[in-house]
A and B are shown apart, each in its own frame.
Chain A
Amino acid sequence: EPEVTQTPSHQVTQMGQEVILRCVPISNHLYFYWYRQILGQKVEFLVSFYNNEISEKSEIFDDQFSVERPDGSNFTLKIRSTKLEDSAMYFCASSAFQGRSYEQYFGPGTRLTVT
């Protein structure tokens, strides 16, 4: 069964450094998403991406964050100048269609630890 994959599974970085989290969505999906879960808190929406553009973003997704689909398979989340409060689990998701009836398939997550 196709699945969303994410690398690395765990990333440790120093405050102020840039990190890139990578995701390989399911191959025929067109919509891509990033979510964040600070330990012990809710899973929160960050951004959605379609047709090489951001289609929606939350207030969490500020200028520190950017997303890119550099090739036909990868979908990346870049965090510039990481802060301690960026430590969280980051989930990538993809879906074939947009809307409430269509499942978003989630990756296993990347745990980001900022020291």
Chain B
Amino acid sequence: SQELEQSPQSLIVQEGKNLTINCTSSKTLYGLYWYKQKYGEGLIFLMMLQKGGEEKSHEKITAKLDEKKQQSSLHITASQPSHAGIYLCGVGSTGNQFYFGTGTSLTVIP
């Protein structure tokens, strides 16, 4: 199986601040997904990174994949209360399973 460790586990930031969430894999990364989840609710797809060095942005959220480090980072610029939630990284496998990270809980204080 593949383990995905996210850091930090939780984050509290003031509105307007930038922040970074990391996802480190126990195995080689061939691609990685980022999801957001409001507490107790469904998963919202944010973006998928497929190649090493790939960087994608959506609104104020930027994600990057570093294959050599087996790591991906998610960066939020000028955070807003609407960014609050749990951020999950995830990877597919050659089999059928999809593995999720341990999650990072983000609180944005207005």
Q: Hey, which bits of chain A sit against chain B, CB under 8 A?
A: 31, 33, 35, 39, 42-45, 48, 50, 55-56, 58, 89, 91, 93, 98-109, 111
Q: Are B100 and A102 in contact, CB atoms less than 8 angstroms apart?
A: no
Q: Return 17 A-B CB contacts under 8 Å, by A number.
A: A33-B98, A39-B40, A42-B100, A43-B90, A45-B97, A48-B96, A56-B95, A91-B42, A91-B43, A98-B96, A99-B92, A99-B94, A100-B93, A101-B50, A102-B92, A103-B48, A104-B98
In the docked arrangement, what's the CA distance between A115 and B41, Å?
20
By secondary structure, the A interface counts as strand
Q: Are B92 and A109 in contact, CB atoms less than 8 angstroms apart?
A: no
Residues of A within 8 A of B98 (CB): 33, 35, 45, 93, 104
Residues of A within 8 A of B43 (CB): 43, 91, 106, 109
Q: Are B100 and A31 in contact, CB atoms less than 8 angstroms apart?
A: no
Q: Are A108 and B94 in contact, CB atoms less than 8 angstroms apart?
A: no
Q: Are A100 and B42 in contact, CB atoms less than 8 angstroms apart?
A: no
Q: Are A89 and B40 in contact, CB atoms less than 8 angstroms apart?
A: yes
Residues of B within 8 A of A108 (CB): 41-42
Residues of A within 8 A of B102 (CB): 42
Which residue of the partner chain B has the closest CB to A6? B42
Q: Hey, which bits of chain B sit against chain A, CB under 8 A?
A: 30-31, 33, 35, 40-43, 45, 48, 50, 88, 90-103
Pick the most buried of B45, B94, B97, B103: most chain A CB atoms within 10 A of its CB.
B97
Q: Are A101 and B96 in contact, CB atoms less than 8 angstroms apart?
A: no
Q: Are A100 and B33 in contact, CB atoms less than 8 angstroms apart?
A: no
Q: Are B42 and A48 in contact, CB atoms less than 8 angstroms apart?
A: no
Which residue of the partner chain B has the closest CB to A31? B96
Which residue of the partner chain A has the closest CB to B32? A100
Residues of B within 8 A of A107 (CB): 42
